[in-house]
Amino acid sequence: MRISTTSILSTGSYLPSRAVPNEALTQFPPASLPLIAEKTGISCRRYAAEDECTSDLGFQAARQCLERANLPPGDVDAILLSTSSPDRVQPATATRVQELLGARRAFAFDVNSVCSGAVFGLHLADTLIRSGECRHVLVVASELYSRNYINQRDFSTCAVLGDGAGAVLLGPGEPTRGIVGSRLHTDGSGSELIQVPAGGTMLPFHRLERPQDVYFTMRGPEIQQFAPVRGAEVVNELLEACDVDRRQVAFVVPHQANISVLRTLAERLDIDFSKFVITLDRYGNTASASVLIAFDDLMMSGRVQAGDLVVLVVFGGGLSWGATLIRV
């Protein structure tokens, strides 16, 4: 039986307990540290404990999400895990989240669209529920960059990235509330702008010549131009397709890239920046987890009223970008 509406039944998030404020980044010259908050808007980030891996973070966010919905893990039909920092190359990190939850009935797989992956996952979950194939789908985004992917001597990435996880439980709901629509895009011609060069079949570790190729890299100037332009385009495309005026949007939950990108995005959308949900000051850029962490932050803040329209907008490696419109 096809379902007309996919509702957001609950949200959850998990931030590791270890807080790393800007002043703790003592590997960099003291004079450079004030520039982090000034240029990026980030004052602190979280790093996972030595005994935590990506699936552990995702499990904690997913467990909180299910507890808030009072839904037993055995009632989950599917788990979609967005990550670009998996536990291992294989199997899918989602399989360990399934095991930790005890969600025996659920099929589970990973989605890797880097920072856009959570919105890609939400669209896939929406499709599974509307088709009638699944009743309850758990979308989790979990990222742990601090251990393997951050070059602790690279100011441009170390100062920005953090660890964390977010989760959303979706299911059939009221016709007037839920996911209104989504739009997804990819441009593979920009696939080298954001990457971890080594570790795959293109550059196996045994052929590694430059040690820095094991780390996350991005070409900052190009990304600074790409993100607000494509972000604004996809939101406008989505609002037009859903016949929604931008003035009706109560909140915008963006990928927490950096504050200048988000301010430029707000200007291009002609949406007041006060409507943007910002968590990067506390948690940094947690890649695909950032939009679900920020969405959970909004849903738990007490600011949301029933019927509010919320836009989630993301942009990241691939290049990829997308947006989802939700009536909460």
Spatial CA neighbour of 80 closest among 293, 288, 319: 288
Active site residues: 115, 255, 285
Q: What are phi and psi of 250, to 5 degrees?
A: -85, -40
The distance from CA 192 to its chain's CA centroid, rounded to whole angstroms, is 20
Which residues touch 253 (CB under 8 Å, ≥6 apart)? 276, 277, 291, 294, 295, 298, 310, 311, 312, 313
CB 102 within 8 A of CB 150: no
Burial of 128: CB neighbours in 10 Å, binned 0-12, 13-18, 19+: buried
CA distances to 107, 114, 119, 196, 223 from 212, rounded to whole Å, are: 36, 19, 30, 9, 20
Q: For residue 138, give the DSSP letter.
A: E
